[in-house]
Structure 1
Amino acid sequence: MSNAESKFQEEISLLKTQLEEKDHQMSVQVMEMESLRTTSLQSYTRGREEGLQAGHSAAVASFKASPEYAEEVFRQGSSFYANGFTVCAEQFKNLGHLPSDFDFSFLDTRADGFGRIGGVGPSE
């Protein structure tokens, strides 16, 4: 093998090594991103479920106490909390546990079902 061929083989070998290292780095980054995505999704899901449960529980207690108090409790919640609250309010309405003239206007919900509190919530 000539000197030029030997040098060419070394360069090819070096490039191959660099590509393998880069491939490994990319694989690690992909795994880290996937782990972060999974963790974020789990946190989101857990927060959503806790918010829905808290909103539902708060609605039960506050609607039983006073419909006027319920509005204030609703306004203090998060969007997931508000969604749980809204679902519960509809259940109360359907079961006849709220006055027939009860004003639901403060329960401003969007088409996707996420509650909005006093006009504040996830962007449209």
Structure 2
Amino acid sequence: MMKKTIYSVTDILEGVDFDVEEQSLSVESIDIKTEDMFKVIEISEVQQKKLIDTFSKAKFQKTNYSSEWDYRINITLNKGYVLYLDSNKKIIVPENKRVAYVIKGDNDFFSVLNELVK
């Protein structure tokens, strides 16, 4: 049986640097049935930092591609990163990549996100 490769966030986001001072994150819900399909979800700076911190520690495994996006996240660190999320399957797809990743282990990124968007 072939061993599945585990990736860190630095493997899936090109040149990412979590040590920059200025960090921000925005979350938009996606509803493809509406004309304006992106709706901004207000989150505080403390919540942004918690999501960024949780995401920075995540481990990933490649998975089947998903297009059931319910969120788009924009993370600004040393540069901007856009991620599309399927929160039901815990899948993350970096923009401009045709590769999907599922978060492995006990990382609670999606739990934190779901708490924020209630």
On whether the aligned pair clears a TM of 0.5, the verdict is no
RCO (CA 8 Å, sep 6+): is it higher in 1 or 2? 2
TM-score in terms of structure 2 length: 0.26
* Structure in which a larger fraction of residues adopt helix: 1
Greater percentage in strand: 2
> Could you say which structure has the larger radius of gyration?
1
